[in-house]
Chains A and B, each alone.
Chain A
Amino acid sequence: MAEDQDKILEEVTGGEYKYGFYTDIEMEEFPKGLNEDIIRLISAKKNEPEFMLEFRLKAFRHWLTMKQPDWAHLNIPPIDFQDIIYYAVPKKKPELESMDEVDPELKATFDKLGIPLDEQKVLAGVAVDAVIDSVSVKTTFKETLAEKGIIFCSISEAIQEYPDLIKKYLGSVVPHQDNYFGALNAAVFSDGSFVYIPKGVRCPMELSTYFRINAINTGQFERTLIVADDDSYVSYLEGCTAPQRDENQLHAAIVEIVAMERAEVKYSTVQNWYPGDKEGKGGIYNFVTKRAICKGDYSKVMWTQVETGSAITWKYPSCVLQGDHSVGEFYSVAVTNNYQQADTGTKMIHLGKNTRSLIVSKGVSAGKSQNSYRGLVKVSKKAENARNFSQCDSLLLGDKCGAHTFPYLEIANNSAKVEHEATTSKIGEDQIFYCNQRGLSTEDAVGLIVNGYVKEVINQLPMEFAVEAQKLLQISLEGSVG
């Protein structure tokens, strides 16, 4: 029985990455390396105003004084930052009026990925700001959104069109001196999305961006900024897959969210970048800084993430709960397989009165992977009546993998109620036996149990995304089980 199970687990976890392919699009590239000239070049190329160049240079100069952090439970091979091309842009940048004008090769890529950038998606009511290698190629539904006063565009466009908003909010949540990869991003970020929801507006559709990484040696430095003004609501989806590559690729993104009074922002991620092959060769390094600030009273930010890809994940979507009665929530599923490493979690920083936070983290480790939850719950002295509950569970599929939990609780107010629970266990043999008894094969049973285990998180995803997330889980873990 146990042997059978092991065999099946092996099969389950041995699935190959289905989405490994490479699209041949002409790229315009800068020379490798990083220095002030490159930064000036990026800024000039994008025709940025003076303040952006200063912002970048300040960040770069600070970055030079920093050291790559080594506190995470990760084994990161040394990264040669001079061996990376910091800017790549698809050469054929069409002025798009309709779908017909999209580069057919690009369109084929999207179809292969199953991204419905077509009429079906339009009917489904999703506006897509598709990003391929750093530059927005296509934006749909902009007009509909514009009617409501919603701004949804690439960040380069926003820098041109709404410099005041950018000046006010860019770097306000993640300042350039925040961390090593954050500083690097601030210096060289190529593109990303910008969302502004005006006062009292409820965004009528899920906003989504698909990120992909293409072209050898192109580090991707996305920068996303979401500002939700008083009484507004927005749900933002981010999903990604990347072509199969041998050489490691670095991805250091920043997402900043500002929620004003009574605003609510929901940010969902499904991440399925190339995790490297079975021997742990290749794969994406995903070093992301995501942070939201609940600036206004009664504001709410919700992070949901399904992390299945990347060779190394280093990511802590955080909430600074500044406004009184503000709420931060974090739901996460992290699946690691083969030689993948993940060190992910959240930070909930309670500053305002009556703030609440909830953390639900589910880790699944298989193969020879290492999966860590690292989280901070900090209640400052003035944060009266703060409430936190954290639940971190780990499921182990195989005897060569590791599951770790590193929660930090720093409480400086006596009215706080903080609870943390964590469990680690193997997939239950009795549960599998129960399923077998009722006619389910062991592989179906494993699939069923894993799905049930992560359901709490998957349920938080928007409908159409939940389906995709489940598919990705299957690819990264279930392989043949399906």
Chain B
Amino acid sequence: MNKTCRIVNLQEEYSQLFQESLAHLEDGAPSKMNALRTKAFEVFNEKGIPSNKVEAYKYTNLQPYFKGTLDIALTNEAAFNDTVTQFNCDVPELDTHNVFLVNGWYSHQNDVSGLPKGVIVGSLRDMAAQHPDIFDKYYGETAPADEDPMAAMNTAFAQGGAFVYIPKGVVVDKPIQLVNIMNGDSDRLVFQRNLVVVEENAQVKMMMCDHTISPQKFVINNLTEVFANENSVFDVYNVQNQHNLTTQVSGIYVHQKKHSNILTNNLTLHSGITRNNVAVTMDDEQCESHVYGLYLSDKNQHVDNFTFIDHAKPHCQSFELFKGVLDDSASGAFTGKVLVQPDAQQTNAYQSNNNLLLTENAKINSKPQLEIYADDVKCSHGATVGQLDDEAMFYLRARGINEDEGRILLMFAFAYEVIEKIRVEPLKENIRQLVEKRFRGEFDKCDSCVVCGQQGTSVSCL
């Protein structure tokens, strides 16, 4: 079932939308999800869609993008489920456990029979009903629905999404790939809520690939909660390939236990307005976290990466690296907050943000922050904004490489630092190729794009 809402004044209409949809939202949803819903809505209603007057959203005013006439799917729509079969992945040679989500809903066509024993992958609603013990223990425990308005909004409207559970000691052989497809015949407001639980000594690598395949406007608020228990290893690679009319607010909230090792990597290759919230809480000793991101923007795209690393306990390490290349009139923002709590001694935290501005209209705002309340720590952060090195360029040109090729080579070398952090070999190779194509303009000004008007054969608009 679809509901159409016309949003002009944000607050009132979202409030109305919530009141009117509440029965549908609650219908068939797990009880804990419903229990958090109203409280979260109150927080959202109080704070509203953030404008740039809110310090955390200083460089991304979301308000204009959450307006308009938008359809929200209150039930899983069968009509768009067949897009799953049309879709071909941009990372074709990668062998993964493939799972599709359409407009935030878990597709019923998914076949997850090849998964190792005990691993649960399924729709968040269904699995919550089947495994209430897991769901009730973890759902809503790490998403800051009481602070962040967008997390609150997601918690209020949450319905579908994926549920991934890796039991004790299981090492999943192949990456689990969640393909998020946005498809529709009208402008859409999409909510997606995922829950990932990695039990003790388990290991899993995940990919989340976001694609818009129809030219409508999409306003997306997705949120993934991740629980990495003792000695677990968790990777998530979020490959964002959206068209220019997309507004995406994506949250990944990770909660770590002893000796766990996590990695998140947001690869924003193409987008409209993207806001990535990544928060990692190291709630036990000896945790290690890697938080990476690469954003390649052009036209009027905007990418804002907002990260928060919470060193709550001693002896943890965090590594953070975000790199961006901004072309045309693109704008970018980076906020990296590292908090070392009192008594979180022996903390090592490293953070770096590097940006390349290619044109005079490109813009970047960078805000690395350290907040440290313990003394036996090693923390550093660095941020740079610049252009390609003239001397390196001269070196290449002196060796017969023309300027365009030299530029691509240098930009690629710049971006590769993030790519090489990918811990899945085939994915690394594929991302390498994607990024190189992106720099060569083969993806960007694509002739097969459904949005730019030149209808081609492929529905994938990069």
27 A-B pairs with CB atoms under 8 Å apart are: A71-B55, A396-B372, A396-B377, A399-B345, A399-B375, A400-B342, A402-B371, A403-B372, A405-B368, A409-B364, A409-B367, A411-B385, A413-B357, A414-B359, A414-B362, A416-B385, A417-B386, A418-B386, A419-B384, A419-B385, A420-B366, A420-B368, A422-B381, A423-B379, A424-B377, A424-B380, A425-B377
Query: Is there contact, CB below 8 Å, between A423 and B380?
Result: yes
Closest to A374 in B: B369
Query: Contact between A399 and B383 (Cβ–Cβ < 8 Å)?
Result: no
- Chain B residue nearest to A416 (CB atoms) is B385
- The CA-CA distance from A406 to B383 in the complex, in Å, is 12
Known: A420-B383, A420-B384, A421-B380. A405 touches B370 (CB 8 A): yes
Which positions 319-357 of chain B face chain A at CB distance < 8 Å? 342-343, 345, 355, 357
Evaluate contact between B360 and A415: CB separation under 8 angstroms.
yes
Residues of B within 8 A of A (CB): 55, 342-343, 345, 355, 357-387
By a CB distance below 8 angstroms, the chain A residues around B358 are: 414
Alpha-carbon distance A417/B354, docked complex (angstroms)? 11
Inter-chain contact B372/A411, CB cutoff 8 Å: no
Instruction: Write the nearest CB–CB distance from A345 to chain B, whole angstroms.
Output: 12
Contacts of A394 in B (CB 8 A): 370, 372
Q: How distant is the Cα of A416 from the Cα of B380 in the complex, in angstroms? A: 23
Known interface pairs A410-B365, A411-B364, A426-B376. Does A404 touch B370 (Cβ–Cβ under 8 Å)? yes
A side interface size, CB within 8 A: 36
In the complex, per-residue mask of A448-463: 1 if CB is within 8 Å of any chain B CB, else 0:
0000000000000000
Q: How far is the CB of A41 from chain B (nearest CB, A)?
A: 38
Please name the residue on chain B nearest to A407 by beta carbon: B368
CA–CA, A413 and B361, complex, Å: 7
**Whose C-beta in chain B lies nearest to the C-beta of A425?**
B378
B373 — nearest CB in chain A belongs to which residue?
Answer: A402
Chain A CB within 10 A, most for which of B365, B369, B384 = B369
**Which residues in B have their C-beta under 8 angstroms from that of A162?**
none
Q: Is A447 an interface residue (CB 8 A)?
A: no
The prevalent SS among residues of B at the interface is strand
What is the chain A residue whose CB lies nearest that of B384? A419
A417–B357 Cα distance when bound, in Å, is: 10
Q: Which listed residue, A401, A422, A424, touches B382 by the CB 8 Å rule?
A: A422
Contact B360 A414 (CB under 8 A): yes
| Cα–Cα distance between A404 and B361 once the two chains are bound (Å) | 32
The distance from the CB of A301 to the nearest CB of chain B, in whole angstroms, is 23
Q: Are A424 and B372 in contact (CB under 8 A)?
A: yes
Smallest Cβ-Cβ distance to B349: which chain A residue:
A424
Cβ A406 vs Cβ B375 within 8 A: no
Interface-central residue, A73, A397, A416, by most chain B CB under 10 Å: A416
Our pick among B343, B375, B382, B387 for the contact of A426 (Cβ within 8 Å) is B375
A409 proximity list for chain B (CB < 8 A): 364-367, 383, 385
Query: Given A402, A404, A411, which contacts B357 in the complex, CB threshold below 8 Å?
Result: A411
Closest chain-A Cβ to B365's Cβ sits at a distance in Å of 5
Flag if A413 contacts B368 (CB, 8 Å). no
Chain A residues with CB under 8 A of B387: 414-415, 417
Q: Which residues of A, 381-400, contact B by the 8 Å Cβ criterion?
A: 381, 394, 396-400
Quick check: is A412 within 8 A (CB to CB) of the other chain? yes
Q: Which residues of B contact A418 (CB under 8 A)?
A: 383-386
Interface residue? A408 (CB, 8 A): yes
Interface of A is mostly: strand
Most chain B beta-carbon neighbours within 10 Å: one of A73, A381, A394, A420: A420
Query: Among A399, A403, A411, A413, which residue has its beta carbon within 8 angstroms of that of B370?
Result: A403
Chain A residues 84-133 with CB under 8 Å of chain B are none
- Contact partners of B359 in chain A: CB under 8 A: 414
**Residues A422 and B367 in contact in the complex (CB < 8 Å), given A399-B375, A402-B372:** no
A180 to B365, CA, bound (A): 26
In the complex, which residues of chain A have a beta carbon less than 8 angstroms from the beta carbon of B376? Answer: 399, 426
B366–chain A nearest beta-carbon distance, Å: 4
List 20 other contacts, CB 8 Å, given A402-B373, A405-B369, A422-B380: A396-B372, A396-B374, A400-B342, A401-B373, A401-B375, A405-B370, A408-B366, A409-B367, A411-B365, A411-B385, A416-B385, A417-B387, A418-B385, A422-B368, A422-B382, A423-B380, A424-B377, A424-B378, A426-B375, A426-B376
- Chain A residues at the B interface, C-beta cutoff of 8 Å: 71, 73, 379, 381, 394, 396-426
Chain A neighbourhood of B373, CB < 8 A: 401-402
List of B residues within 8 angstroms of A379 by Cβ:
385
Q: Are B357 and A416 in contact, with the CB atoms below 8 A?
A: yes
Q: In the complex, which residue of chain B has the Cβ closest to the Cβ of A405?
A: B370
* A404 and B371 form a contact (CB under 8 A): yes
The reply to whether A398 and B375 contact each other, CB–CB distance below 8 Å, is yes
Nearest first, the 4 closest Cβ-Cβ pairs linking A and B are: A414-B357, A396-B375, A409-B366, A418-B385
Specify the chain B residue showing the minimal Cβ separation from A387: B386
Contact partners of B369 in chain A: CB under 8 A: 404-407
- The smallest C-beta distance from B243 to any residue of chain A, in angstroms, reads 25
Task: Name B383's contact: one of A71, A401, A419, A425 (CB within 8 Å).
Answer: A419
**How far apart sit A419 and B386, CA to CA, in the bound complex (Å)?**
8
Contact at A416–B367, with CB atoms within 8 Å?
no
Q: A414-B387, A419-B383, A422-B381 are in contact. Are A397 and B367 (CB under 8 A)?
A: no
A234 to B50, CA, bound (A): 47
A362 vs chain B, min Cβ distance (A): 15
A266 to chain B, nearest CB (A): 28
Interface centre among A397, A400, A409, A425 (most CB of B within 10 A): A409
Chain B residues whose CB sits within 8 angstroms of the CB of A422 once the complex forms: 368, 370, 380-382
Cα–Cα distance between A278 and B185 once the two chains are bound (Å): 68
Docked pose: A407 CA to B371 CA in angstroms: 12
Chain A residue nearest in CB terms to B368: A407
Closest to A366 in B: B375
- Nearest CB of A to B51, in Å: 16
> Which of A396, A404, A406 makes the CB contact (< 8 A) with B367?
A406
A408 with B386: CB separation less than 8 A: no
Q: Hey, which chain A residues are within 8 Å of B370, CB to CB?
A: 394, 403-405, 422, 424
CB nearest neighbor in A for B335? A408
Interchain CA distance A369-B333 in the complex, whole Å: 31
Residue of B nearest to A429 (CB): B376
Which among B358, B362, B373, B375 has the greatest number of chain A C-beta atoms within 10 A?
A: B375
Q: Distance (Å) between the CB of A71 and the closest chain B CB?
A: 7
- Chain A positions within 8 Å of B342 at CB level: 399-400
| B371 closest partner in A (C-beta) | A404
Report the separation of the CA atoms of residues A401 and B360 in the bound assembly, to the nearest whole angstrom: 43
Which residues of chain B have C-beta atoms less than 8 A from A416's C-beta? 357, 385-386
Q: Cβ of A424: which chain B residues have Cβ within 8 Å of it?
A: 370, 372, 377-380
Q: How far, in whole Å, are A78 and B371 apart by their CA atoms in the complex?
A: 24
Contacting residues, chain B, for A407 (C-beta < 8 A):
366-369, 383
Q: Report the Cα distance A408→B363, complex, angstroms.
A: 13
Q: How far is the CB of B417 from chain A (nearest CB, A)?
A: 16
Give chain A residues whose Cβ lies under 8 Å from the Cβ of B381: 405, 420-422
A342 to chain B, nearest CB (A): 14
Q: Answer whether A408 and B380 are a contact pair too, CB < 8 Å, given A413-B360, A416-B385, A426-B375.
A: no
CB-defined contacts of B380 to chain A, threshold 8 Å: 421-424
A379 to B355, CA, bound (A): 14
Contact of A397 among B363, B364, B375 (CB under 8 A): B375
Which one of B364, B378, B383 has the highest number of Cβ atoms from chain A below 10 Å of its Cβ?
Answer: B383
- Provide the bound-state CA to CA distance between A396 and B378, in Å: 11
Given A422-B368, A422-B381, A422-B382: A411 and B375 within 8 A (CB)?
Answer: no
A421 lies within 8 A of B372 (CB): no
Given the interface contacts A408-B367, A409-B364, A420-B368, does A399 sit within 8 Å of B374 by beta carbon? yes
A426 to B374 CA separation, bound complex (whole angstroms): 9
| Shortest CB distance A405–B (Å) | 4
> Please, which residue of chain B has its CB at the minimum distance from the CB of A397?
B375
Chain A residues near B343 (CB, 8 Å)?
399
Give the Cβ gap from A420 to chain B, nearest Cβ, in Å.
4
Complex CA gap A298/B213 in Å reads 54
B371 partner residues in chain A, CB cutoff 8 A: 73, 402, 404
